[in-house]
């Protein structure tokens, strides 16, 4: 249990909650650990949403598929990210997105109804948990606004530069988690066109790159 707590304590949802309360949290939220192989579907669009999931190891991606089969990667999840808590707060019964394991992944599954309602014993840490969740959702809203800013750019080059600028922070060199196909899905652009644009930007001296490692010049 302590190994799991050492991971989840780094998620804002569990901020300021003591390890001594963890066993009670596990029971209170009907939490359990599940394992998924790479490419396994964790949650399929249209499925009933009855849990939130926190990444303990590995990674996952949230994807959206249109009626023509075109896939968009909305975001990527790593340790100790959480997904599904916003569905619980909004009382969404069916998932509008698919969550897929990007690697062999271990996930802490939490009963979503118990996450947004006080327990019968009115334990103080549960109230803190709900307060933390409001902060977490507000933070995710800021991340969503960043995605909207990227997609609002008109050209593939503008989208790439905006994405790179957000990824790098204050550093010139940085590494992204997406491969080329995933990056194209995330930016909602054609993969071939994006690859050609990256090569043009490199030839013009704007960037350097090797696989997923980039440098803005």
Mean pLDDT across the chain: 85
Does the structure show a pLDDT above 90 at 41?
A: yes
Angle at 33 (CA atoms; ends 31, 37), nearest 5 degrees: 145
Q: What is the rounded distance in angstroms from the CA atom of residue 130 to the CA atom of residue 29? A: 12
Residues 32 and 85 in one domain: yes
| Contact of 108 with 35, CB cutoff 8 Å | no
Last residue of a domain, one of 136, 167, 198: 136
5-28 mean pLDDT: 78
What percent of the chain has pLDDT above 70? 96
Does the structure show a pLDDT above 80 at 72?
A: yes
Residues 94 and 156 in one domain: no
Residues 27 and 88 in one domain: yes
Residues 48 and 90 in one domain: yes
**pTM score of the predicted model:** 0.68
Does the structure show a pLDDT above 90 at 69?
A: no
Residues 10 and 59 in one domain: yes
Residues 162 and 198 in one domain: yes
Asked whether residue 91 is assigned to any structural domain, the reply reads yes
Q: Where are the alpha helices (DSSP H) in 1-66?
A: 2-8, 22-28
116-123 mean pLDDT: 67
Residues 52 and 110 in one domain: yes
Does the structure show a pLDDT above 70 at 119?
A: no
Does the structure show a pLDDT above 70 at 82?
A: yes
Residues 84 and 165 in one domain: no
Q: What are phi and psi of 98, to 5 degrees?
A: -110, 135
Q: Which of 15-19, 64-68, 149-153, 201-205 is predicted with the least confidence, judged by mean pLDDT? A: 15-19
Does the structure show a pLDDT above 80 at 120?
A: no
Last residue of a domain, one of 136, 170, 203: 136
- Residue 2 is predicted with a pLDDT of 61
- Residue 115 tokens read as 């996450």
Residues 132 and 156 in one domain: no
Q: How many domains does the chain have?
A: 2
- 104 vs 92 pLDDT, higher one: 104
For the beta sheet containing 82-83, the strands, ordered from the edge strand earlier in sequence to the opposite edge, are 32-36, 105-111, 51-57, 82-83
Asked whether residue 187 is assigned to any structural domain, the reply reads yes
DSSP-assigned letter for residue 102 = S
Does the structure show a pLDDT above 90 at 200?
A: yes
77-105 mean pLDDT: 86
Asked whether residue 75 is assigned to any structural domain, the reply reads yes
Residues 171 and 93 in one domain: no
What percent of the chain has pLDDT above 90? 33
Per-residue confidence band for 122, with pLDDT thresholds at 50, 70 and 90:
low
The SS3 of residue 169 is coil
* Residue 91 belongs to domain spanning: 2-136
Does the structure show a pLDDT above 80 at 166?
A: yes
């Amino acid at each position: 249990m302590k190994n799991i707590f050492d991971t989840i304590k780094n998620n804002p949802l569990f901020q300021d909650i003591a390890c001594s309360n963890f066993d009670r949290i596990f029971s209170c939220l009907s939490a359990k650990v599940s394992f998924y192989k790479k490419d396994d579907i964790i949650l399929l669009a249209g499925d009933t949403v009855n849990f939130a999931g926190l990444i303990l190891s590995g990674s996952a991606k949230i994807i959206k598929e249109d009626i023509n089969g075109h896939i968009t990667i909305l975001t990527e999840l790593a340790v100790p990210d959480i997904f599904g808590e916003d569905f619980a707060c909004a009382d969404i019964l069916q998932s509008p997105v698919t969550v897929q394991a990007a690697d062999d992944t271990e996930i802490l599954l939490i009963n979503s109804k118990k996450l947004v309602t006080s327990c019968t014993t009115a334990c103080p840490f549960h109230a803190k948990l709900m307060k933390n969740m409001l902060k977490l959702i507000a933070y995710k809203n800021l991340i969503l606004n960043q995605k909207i800013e990227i997609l609002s750019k008109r050209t593939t080059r503008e989208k790439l530069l905006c994405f790179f600028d957000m990824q790098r922070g204050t550093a010139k060199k940085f590494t992204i988690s997406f491969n080329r196909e995933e990056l194209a899905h995330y930016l909602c652009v054609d993969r071939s066109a994006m690859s050609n644009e990256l090569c043009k930007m490199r030839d013009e001296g704007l960037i350097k790159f090797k696989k997923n490692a980039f440098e803005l010049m």
